[in-house]
Amino acid sequence: MALKMNKKQPKGFTLVELMIVLVILGIVTIGAMTAIISQSRVYHSEENIIDMQMNARVAMDRICFLLRMAGVGCEDNFGDNLTNGSLVTNGDVAANPLSSMFTITNNAPSTPDQLTLVGAVRHVGSITSIPANNQIKVGSHDPKLGTTVAKSYIFISPNDENRYEIISADDGTTLTLATSLDNDRKTEILNALSAGVDLDVYQVQAFTLRLVNNSLRIDGNIDGSSTQLDVADNIQDLQFQYGLDTDNDGQVDSWFDNPATISQIKAVRVYILARTGKMDKEYFDRKTYTLAGVTVGPFNDHVHRYLLESTIVVRNRNL
């Protein structure tokens, strides 16, 4: 018996079927690309927002630290009114000599404020011995401490008096003081050393808080540009308000932008308005922001902003 051959050939895709498949693939591809682009935009937008918030918090943390340390190791040198001091700085951004423990520059609401304060912040070593009544030995230390007028102020902690000493000579390990330690203070230091108590030495200096090119800059005021530190970028505005104790009851009862009597300062409010460094085309800033009682905005642009506010008690003014 002869076998019959099936001459029917297998079918391929028709043109219509190919068109349908291509349309479906196009729709899926467009959807996937749209989702990827959207997720990428959201990711970069959130990344910029996180960077903005971190910058604002870094700036606030640094400002709060310096405000809490204002007056430490030096308040008694400025007298009851806090305006009788003679701290000398390099003169770049603060008065020279600096006669006030707080130097306030309160600008118009559209212009960032500026504040210079004084405190013993930077640890430079610990006392190991007292070679003479007018000398202390601290070992090697940072060259930012020395005998030039802006570098010569130190505070020895602990000390019942909130007062700095002035260095008249420095050989790298031994500091010679302009005024000899009195017998009681010398005995106190020797007894502490004998008991194994650490006597720390801090540098007393002025710090200026200001905005430069939308960055928070802290000027160390002891040797020019080498101590100018840009702490945080994309800070649009910086404002201060000062809480005063006007009736001497130990409590803040009034807030001022530019107080006439700085000895009444008990607390400081800090307002930081940060912004993202890049625009977000999908966002439009219609918000308003209130800094130190003044409302700014809406800016009606494609930039995210973040307002951070903090009230800092000036510790040395509340003892």
Q: What's the number of domains the chain is made of?
A: 1
**Residue 220, CA distances (Å) to 37, 117, 257, 310 in order:** 46, 10, 24, 23
Closest to 202 in 3D by CA, of 165, 156, 237, 261: 156
In a domain, 90, yes or no: yes
Q: Which residues of the chain have pLDDT under 50?
A: none
| Per-residue pLDDT, 10 | 59
Hey, what long-range contacts does 179-182 have (CB within 8 A, 24 or more apart)? 179/134, 180/133, 180/134, 181/130, 181/133, 181/134
pLDDT digits (tens, 9 = 90+) for 113-128: 999 999 999 898 899 9
Written as six digits, the tokens of 187 are 């005995």
Residue 106 structural domain = 54-234
Q: Give the global pTM.
A: 0.84
In a domain, 182, yes or no: yes
In a domain, 6, yes or no: no
In a domain, 220, yes or no: yes
pLDDT digits (tens, 9 = 90+) for 148-203: 888 889 999 888 889 999 999 888 888 999 999 988 888 999 999 999 888 999 99
